[in-house]
Structure 1
């Protein structure tokens, strides 16, 4: 599957803005360099579904990154609603359990078929890239190391019928071994060598992540905070090629 993706299809740009105008200006500045924009909690709750439709009108695919985590019935309803907006991909927290993930996938398929649209890719969030070993054990209360937790959730997501998982670049090889090469890996915490790491702990360069077998890379500040975002995106695309 990775071989079939063009470089501009492998990168999702995180539009982490607090208003729609700035987000759309950034998308416009990037033009046709990148195909998919990621809309997270802050932007979606500020702009509502309109941001999804505006990006679609501009020709972009949308990865809706709102990480659903609730009882199965509630998450199934949320999955139905977001699928109706025609997003390319959305995610749920694997910690919600097997039944929740199954219901989310079933609802997405049912809504897509009823609406005559493509079924969105549904991705499970394993552990956030801000999660350190100490945080996992001492605050969240999960024993063992981070990779063990990530693999457990990845296998659970695959059992539930999800298309893949969100994980850090350091877990890609282990996920591929456990779940196979066709099970998608969406990797945040991607930083080119020339960009700062900010608040994320488990980070990796684009080239290293792709060499490890990543399907998609989520990149935000390295592009959106650059003096010339389009030049930064093109520089990263060259690295991806």
Structure 2
């Protein structure tokens, strides 16, 4: 899928994640997100099991540490053969560049393709009020996200994770070819839960998203395949 809809496998165990994937007739057509909850519970073995089903994998661990630590972690994670990986953009240009080096080195050693490196900007759970009064950032949200995206691009990242609300600003300010992954996706009939900056798949597509992530509206739905098809149809237009 050129512009994937990624399903967030936010399950407490590998058994539950694999049971969920078994409900699809062709899991090899899926792109899935493995985040902290599942990876910290199961470790690298869950990546191997999901890869065996043929899924593309977005490993979302948001690495955030000193550059050398991030480089060494990235080098090892690249050997797992995942397709996408994240660092936190607030770690700065040196850290992002170190992640890029680690991914490239690890992938070369393992004989696999290096993952697409994405820098997380501001989480979709962060509101303007939190940005200003807790993070003490004077910039408006869109300008803050743009600043982080420019830093990430200059340091060798392939794209960023951002909300749909910043897409227009980013697409207007940055060159073509940068990858925009958008979480916080909800259809109008689904609740926003703990997300603050949300939008529909259609809105994300029309404003230049490269990929979207959908979690609970699909994984917690009694009719999983039908929910996935609804979101996919809206995303593909």
Task: Settle same-fold status: TM greater than 0.5.
Answer: yes
Report SS of the residue matched to 2:38: helix
Does the 8 Å contact 1:155/1:178 carry over to 2? no
**Offset of residue 140 of structure 1:** 1.2
**Offset of residue 120 of structure 1:** 0.5
Q: 1:31 to 1:66 in 2, by over 3 A?
A: farther
Match in the other structure for 2:21: 27
Q: What stretches of structure 2 of length at least 5 have no aligned partner?
A: none
**Which digits, 9 at most, give the CA deviation of each residue in 1:30-73, with x for residues without a partner?**
34365211011111111111111100001111101110000000
| Structure 2: distance between partners of 1:50 and 1:153 | 33
TM-score, normalisation: structure 2: 0.96
Q: Does 1:10 align with 2:4?
A: yes
Match in the other structure for 1:73: 68
Does the 8 Å contact 1:64/1:90 carry over to 2? yes
Q: Does 1:102 align with 2:97?
A: yes
Aligned length: 235
Q: What stretches of structure 1 of length at least 5 have no aligned partner?
A: none
**Offset of residue 186 of structure 1:** 0.3
Counterpart among 74, 78, 94 of residue 83 in structure 1: 78
Report SS of the residue matched to 1:147: helix
TM-score, normalisation: structure 1: 0.94
Counterpart among 154, 162, 182 of residue 187 in structure 1: 182
**Offset of residue 137 of structure 1:** 1.1
| Structure 2: distance between partners of 1:70 and 1:146 | 24
**Offset of residue 236 of structure 1:** 1.4
Does the 8 Å contact 1:126/1:150 carry over to 2? yes
